[in-house]
Amino acid sequence: MSITASLTRAWRIAADIADPELPMLSIADLGILRDVRWEDGTVSVLITPTYSGCPAMSAIADDITAAFAAAGIAPVHVRRVLAPAWSSDWITPAGRRKLAAAGIAPPTPGSAPIACPRCASMETAMLSPFGTTACRALWRCRACGEPFDRFKCH
């Protein structure tokens, strides 16, 4: 296989790995998979954290190593890059659809109204600016009464 074909295959393997805290999204959907490249005779997978203290980074690195080992590619070098900094704009359109389907309101900028991911009502209010993970806030729908997570616009 040519290097290009190998890297295309390697990208597919990496892009298939689920985020541990948002398992409905792959790390490619979330925009934290930055590159898969050939460096010094090994495959390098470049990932970036969502938040400085994102505790999922180590788990993701382990998952990448395991997925490549299962595909017969070893060793693989997982490298963390910081620049350019991740923002919620890096979430792909597919990722946004998957978030909404899972009941998590996708990020919207500034003070734009937030639609309830369950009933689509715009009668929603924030309960807490911090939620179950670093990337989420806790909201509530006044129409259907359900609480929901909102992906922070960051």
Partner 1 sequence: MASSSIVFAGPPLAQYALRRADDALLLGHRLSEWCGQAPMLEEELALANIALDLIGQARLLYAYAAEIEAAGHDEDQLAYLRDAQHYGNLLLVEQPNGDFAATMLRQLLYSAYAWPYWQAMERSADATLAAIAAKAAKECAYHHRHAALWVVRLGDGTAESHRRAQQALDDLWMFTGEMFTADALEAPLITAGIAADPALLRPLWQASLDETFAEATLIAPADGWMQQGGRAGRHGEHLGHLLSEMQYLQRAHPGVVW
How many CA atoms lie less than 13 Å away from 38 in the CB half-sphere?
A: 9
Residue 5, classed as helix, strand or coil, is helix
**CB within 8 A of 10, min separation 6: which ones?**
36, 43, 45, 68, 73
For partner 1, give the closer residue by CB, 86 or 151: 86
Residues that bind partner 1 (CB under 8 A): 49, 51-55, 82-87, 127-132, 134, 138, 152, 154
Nearer to partner 1, 129 or 145 (CB): 129
Taking the least distance from each CB to partner 1, the nearer of 4 and 52 is 52
CB of 24 to partner 1, least distance (A): 21
Sign of the dihedral defined by the CA atoms of residues 84, 31, 51, 55, in that order: negative
| Shortest distance (Å) from residue 71 CB to partner 1 | 28
Residue closer to partner 1 (CB basis): 38 or 130: 130
What minimum distance in Å lies between the beta carbon of 48 and partner 1? 9
